[in-house]
Every structure is written in C-alpha cells, then in structure tokens.
Amino acid sequence: MKLRETLSRLDRAQRSLPFKIIASVVLVALAIAALSTYYVVVTMPGQKEAAAAVATESQAAKPAPGAAEPAKISQEERSAIEASQRMYEELLAARTSPGSVAVGLGVLTVIGLVVIWLGLGLTYLAFAAIAGGVAYPLSLLGLGGLSRVLLGIVALTAAFTALMQGLRVLFSGPGPVFAIARNMLIEATRMKVSLVFIVILIFAMAALPGSLSPDTPLRYRVQSFLQYGTAGSFWIIAILVLFFSAASVAFEQRDKQIWQTMTKPVASWQYILGKWLGGCGLAAALLVVCSAGVFLFTEYLRQQPAVGESAYLAPREGEGPQFSEDRQILETQVLSARESVDPVIPLTIDDPNFLEGVKQYILDNRTRDPEFAQTQSMYDKVVGDLYKSLLLQMRSIEPGAYKPFLFRGLSRARESSSPVTIRYRVDAGNNAPDQLYHITFVIGGVTYPSQDVTLGPTHSLSFLPSLIDENGNIEIIVHNALVQFTQEGQPIVTPNAGTISIPADGFELTFRAGSYQANFMRVAFILWIKLAFLAMLAITAATFLSFPVACLVAFAVFLVAEGTGFLSLSLEYYDAVNPGEKIVYYNIVVRAIGLVVAWMFKRYSDLRPTARLVGGRMLAWSSVAWGTTVLAVWSGALYGISVLIFRRRELATYSGQ
C-alpha cells in the first residue's frame, strides 16, 4: 500500500504545473550547459594553432614528384599546398562549430520537453534508470553490443511513445476531423498490422549501428549507416503507412464500424481528411524518431578516428603529420551539401554537321542493304548509337596524349572560399584491379602533380576556386601520362600502357553549397511529404476496394513511383526493332505505356532524397518546393476522388437486421 501511495504521489507531482515548469527550466539549462562545455573544450587555446601548424608542416614535407629541390616550391605545388591547407581549415572549423551538437541537443531537448509537459517526466526518468541499470552490467560482462541494442530499443520506444502522446494532444481539438485523426492514432498502437512494423522498425534501427565493422574506413561506415538508416526506415514506414491506412478504412467498412461514424453529422470530406491526418501523424512520429536516431549516431560516428588517425583530426603515430584522406573525403564529400557541374559537351545530337555525317553513313550502308534505316524508329536508333559512340570517342585519350574539358557555371564556386573537388573515373581495357595509371591534370593553366589511380573506382582531387576565371569557367586538361619537369622546366612525359576513357557520369566538379545539417532536414521533410502522398493513395484505394486488393494496388503504385528512375533508364535501351530490323508493335505499346508512367512519376523519382544525402549532394529548396507542390497536387486529386467515391456509396444504410 505504501508503495502504491508513493507512486500515486509521484504521478500527481509530475503532472503538476510547478513540476513541469521547474523540470523544463532544468532541462533547458542542462542543454545550454552541455553545448557551452563542448564549445569551450574544442576551442581551447592552442588547439587550432597547433593543428594548423601540423597541416602546414605536413604539406611542406611532401614535394611533388620530379621536383629537383624541395626547398623551391613551384606554382603547381604551391596551389596544391594552399588547397590542402584551406581544406584543413574547413575541417577545423567543422570541429569547433557547435552547429551539429546544437541540432542534436535541440532534438533531445524538444523530445524531453514533450515528455515533461505530457506529465511523464518522472516515469521516463525511472525507465531510463532501469534501462541503464540493466545495460551497464551487460557491458561489464563483455556484451557491449547487446547493451547498446537494449539502450537503443528503450530510447526509440520512449521517443515514439512520447511523440504519439503529443500528437493525440495536438489532435484533441473540436470537430469530427480531429476526432477521427485521434482515434486513428489510438488504433495504430492496437492494430496488429501496425504493431508488427513498429516493432520491426525499432529493433532494426537499434541493431543497425552494431552491424558496422570498425575495420571499414570511416567514410564507408558513415555512408552505409546513412543509406540503410534513412532508406531502410523510409521503406519500413512506407509499407506500414500503406497497410495501416488501407486497413483503417477497409476494415471499418467490412466490420460495419463506419455506420457509427457516418450516421452522425460527419461529411465524407471530414472522414477522409481525418484518416489522412492520422496517417500523416503516425508517419511523422516514426520518421522523426528514426531521423533523430540516424542524425545523432552519424554525429557520433563523425567524431570517431578515421583511417590514419588516433583520434579526431589527430594523426596516428608513425603515419606522419599529414591529415587523413579518409577524414578529408568524409567531411568534404559525404557530410556535405555539394552542387556538381559536368563538362560541356561540344557536340549536340541536333548539330547540322553531325546529322550530315549520319546521313552519309546511312547512304553508305544502303549501298549494301537497301532496307537499312528506312523507318523512323530505325533511323532514330542509328542516330542515337552514332551519337553515343562519338561521345565515347571524345572522352577517350590515347597513351601520352591529352584532351581538354571545359566547365561552365562555376560563379558560385568562385565566390566561395571552399576548395573545388574534381571527381573522376578512369576506365582502360577490362579495368584490371592490379593496374595503376598515372593521370596528370592541368587545372586552369596550373599543372598538378600526377595522380596514381586504379581503374574503375572514383577518385578525387581538390583545387582552389581562385583558378576559375571571372566568367565562372575553367578548363581542365587530362593527360594520359606521367608528366614531370626538369630543373629547366622542360616536361618529361611517360605514357601509360593503354588508352583511357572517362565515362559520361565519371567526370564532374563539385563544390560546397550548403551545410550537411540543413540538407538532412530537407531530406527528412521531403521523405515525410512522400509518406503523406502514400497515405492518401492507400486511403483512396480502400474507399472502393477490399483490404487485400487496396494494398496490392497501393503497393504497386509505390513500387512504380520508386522505380521510375530505373524505368526511364531502361526505356533508353528498349527498342521497338528486333535484330532483324523489323518493327515489333507490341514493343511500341509497351514503350508508350512506360513513357507515360515515367512522365507521371518523374518528379517523385527526380527528388532522390536518400541518394542525395548519402552522396553529399545538395537537395535545393527549389527542388523541395517543386516536389512538394507536385505531390500536394497528386494528393489533392486523390483526396477529391476518394470523397466523390464515398459520397456515392451507401455506407450507413440500415439493413433491418
């Protein structure tokens, strides 16, 4: 009895207004103190100066290949040194910037305030103490992985429960729309079809960090976690939203529960809107929990030692003073928001000279085969094949030769102080993994030290934006050779063994256009917009179809929308002409249907939020706004269709039984 009375008094205390105010002030004060402590530690006097000295020493200790006197620094060497130093300064700035920690603490503080004002502050504190009391002994027994999974499950479950309670309070307003949305959230925690996916999602998110191998380079660990954490959680939540939204509407019609709703003064548009708000609320709660977990653990991984480091930005003993390449790629190409520019294609497919050459090629072939390219489809295929072949030839460089590539539209990069990164891929022969090629770049008139590259993988090289001209253009010359210089400045060219080719998607310039944190927020928002569209899609299907059929239709549309990118790429190679150069009309119909589907979901596919996040690509606000507008229009159209269907159906007719 005493225990029950004590618990009852504690429950009354955590629900009282004075406790909520005091606890909120304490929580905010702790968050501010933690952020201030972090900032003071990372900006202690001497840390930045010592690290900058290490950067200067590391670059000065590395003369370029072929340099006769290390004491003399050539223009190309000085440019490379300055680019590396500028990059190191950015790494130091990222380390001392409290932005990432502030965002993480902000997320935790908001969730904590929600818990406090729901009257569950002491309850959650007790659960946290119990979880810590169980996890700590497990870690002492050598079961650190199990301990972390347990803490992850408790944290994710607690955050999800708090957000669901907060949404119920948010939907406690008057009117049937909020009542239906609130009942749908309650239904989400009771229906088996939703509970199964929620449990799977929480366990998967808690176990995912333990699947990362510590022997893998840090940049790959971060990319893998972002890929599986973001894409995996989105797919699980999407399937849950589809099944749950369809089940909520279909089961109410099947079990005649909708009679109790529609016989009251509830309009069809109110019922559909309430169901959609409930589905969007469930998706938002799950997505916020998963996104917060992914963001916080990514920041934790970011502080771990990279390859060649003993600690964050601290070179390992015996590795030399140079900062880690693994760290450089992680900070500048993964945890970033970059824009990219491709080289200018000097020849278009509608160029008169090219079309004249195609005409002559067809006439020459018709002397041997009069039926060659007589139809429009055959002609288009010949034009496309010749154009691709010509582009490949323009991107091929023979041993000892070189080719220039012009990049335009780099005015923003020139105005920025951040280094510009060249991302390139080199193919030769069968891309033997044991072959090493020497590639030399001349960037804006400055010859950089030759790069030793393997065939197939993507490589990178950075340079200062000051090399870009006033018009935002820069010319980069690629030598298929090792280029060195004598003391007199005469070049010594050592050709590679074979001809190299640069794929169409294997050469680009990238530059920082925003912060990783803001990009992450935009990605999370657009994922929620997609989930909102899927909720309306499932509700619309369930208004006139049974649960299995509605799920099948909604899931099929979801897969088509997600696979539109692959569909568009496949249509480029899908031909209506068979090897005998005869038209297959069935293929024409299939291609026409594919083109219509690709057009319908093109904007949905072009967003590619997860791919942009994992690749460190910028998801611009313009893309977010346009994608949101398109998906909102589609959702509005589906909403109108579902309302019309419900108005025409006799959902609450008394049967006399």
Name which of 112-126, 224-238, 522-536 the model is least confident about: 112-126
pLDDT score for 56: 47
Q: Which helix (DSSP H) or strand (DSSP E) does residue 407 occupy?
A: strand 402-407
Residue 657 has pLDDT above 50, yes or no: no
Over the stretch 332-350, which tens digit does the pLDDT of each residue have? Answer: 888 888 898 999 888 788 8
C-beta atoms surrounding 634 within 10 Å: 18
- The 10s digit of each residue's pLDDT in 610-631 is 989 998 889 988 889 998 998 9
Indicate the pLDDT class of residue 654, thresholds 50, 70 and 90: very low
Six-digit token string for 367: 């002397």
The answer to whether residue 643 scores a pLDDT higher than 70 is: yes
Looking at residue 44, what is its pLDDT?
57
Q: Which tokens in the block code for residue 10?
A: 């504690």
Q: Is the pLDDT of residue 583 over 50?
A: yes
Top-confidence residue, 165 or 73: 165
Query: Does the structure show a pLDDT above 50 at 540?
Result: yes
388-421 pLDDT, tens digit each: 888 888 889 999 999 999 999 888 888 877 788 8
**Separation CA 459–CA 482 (nearest Å):** 17
> What is the spatial distance between Cα 400 and Cα 364, in angstroms, rounded to a whole number?
34
pLDDT at 50: 47
Which tens digits make up the pLDDT trace of 3-17? Answer: 778 878 887 888 888
Residue 413: the pLDDT is 87
Instruction: Give yes or no for a contact between 403 and 439, defined as CB atoms under 8 angstroms apart.
Output: no
pLDDT attached to residue 86:
63
CA distance 365 to 636: 54
Select the more confidently predicted residue: 67 or 204: 204
> Which residues partner with 510 through β-bridges?
340, 421
Residues 6+ apart with CB under 8 A from 452: 436, 437, 438
Q: CB 80: neighbour CB atoms within 10 A?
A: 23
Q: What is the pLDDT of residue 467?
A: 87
pLDDT of residue 389: 84
Task: Please enumerate in sequence order all residues whose Cβ is within 8 A of that of 22, keeping only pairs 6 or more positions apart, or say none.
Answer: none
> Over pLDDT 70: what percentage of the chain?
81
In whole angstroms, what is the distance from residue 62 CA to residue 484 CA? 15
pLDDT at 582: 56
- Please give the residue that has the higher pLDDT: either 317 or 73: 317
Looking at residue 585, its pLDDT comes to 57
Which residues have C-beta within 8 Å of that of residue 8, sequence separation ≥ 6? none
Confidence (pLDDT) at 79 = 57
Which of 172-181, 452-461, 575-584, 604-613 is least confident?
A: 575-584
Q: Between the CA of residue 486 and those of 68, 69, 448, 490, 492, what are the distances in Å? A: 7, 11, 15, 5, 7
DSSP letter at 350? Answer: T
19-26, long-range: CB within 8 Å, 24+ apart, which pairs? Answer: 19/121, 20/116, 20/117, 20/119, 20/121, 23/116, 23/121, 24/113, 24/116, 24/117
Per-residue confidence (pLDDT) for residue 265, from 0 to 100: 75
DSSP state of 466: G
Predicted local distance difference test score (pLDDT) of residue 51: 47
pLDDT of amino acid 474: 92
Token readout for 190 is 């009771």
Sorting pLDDT into bands at 50, 70 and 90, what band is 71? very low
Q: With 80 as the cut, is the pLDDT of residue 380 above it?
A: no
| pLDDT of 70 strictly over 50 | no
pTM: 0.81
SS3 573: coil
Mean pLDDT check: name the lowest of 26-30, 518-522, 582-586.
582-586
Mean pLDDT, rounded, for 124-140: 80
pLDDT at 193: 67
Question: pLDDT band at residue 575, thresholds of 50, 70 and 90?
Answer: low
**Over the chain, what is the mean pLDDT?**
80
**pLDDT tens figures, 16-35:** 888 888 888 988 898 888 88
Is the distance from CB of 272 to CB of 283 less than 8 angstroms?
Answer: no
Residue 586: count of CB within 10 angstroms of its CB: 9
Q: What is the pLDDT of residue 606?
A: 78
- Give 38's pLDDT tier (boundaries 50, 70, 90): confident
Q: What is the pLDDT of residues 275-324, one digit of tens each?
A: 999 999 999 999 988 888 888 888 888 888 888 777 776 766 655 545 67
Assign 608 to helix, strand or coil. coil
pLDDT at residue 241 is higher than 60: yes
Q: Which of 14-23, 96-105, 360-369 has the lowest mean pLDDT?
A: 96-105
Give strand ranges (E) for 430-523.
436-443, 446-447, 451-454, 458-463, 474-479, 481-485, 491-495, 500-501, 507-514
> Where do runs of H (alpha helix) occur along 303-333?
325-329
Q: With contact defined as beta carbons under 8 Å apart, do 502 and 478 qualify?
A: yes
Amino acid, res. 585 = Y
Asked whether the predicted pLDDT for residue 59 surpasses 50, the reply is no
Beta bridge pairs of residue 454: 436
Cβ density class 38-75: b for 16+ within 10 Å, e for less: beeebeeeeebeebeebbeebbeebbbebbeeeeebbe
Please give the Cα distance from 101 to 517 (Å, whole number). Answer: 10
List pLDDT tens digits, range 464-496: 888 888 888 999 999 999 888 777 777 888 899
Degrees to nearest 5, angle at CA 523 with 522 and 528 = 95
Q: How many CB atoms lie within 10 A of CB 441?
A: 22
Measured over the CA atoms of residue 63, residue 66, residue 70 and residue 73, the dihedral's sign is negative
Residue 477: predicted pLDDT: 92
Residue 634 has pLDDT above 50, yes or no: yes
Q: Which residues contact 99 (CB under 8 A, 6 or more apart)?
A: 515, 517
Token pair 């569950």: residue:
120
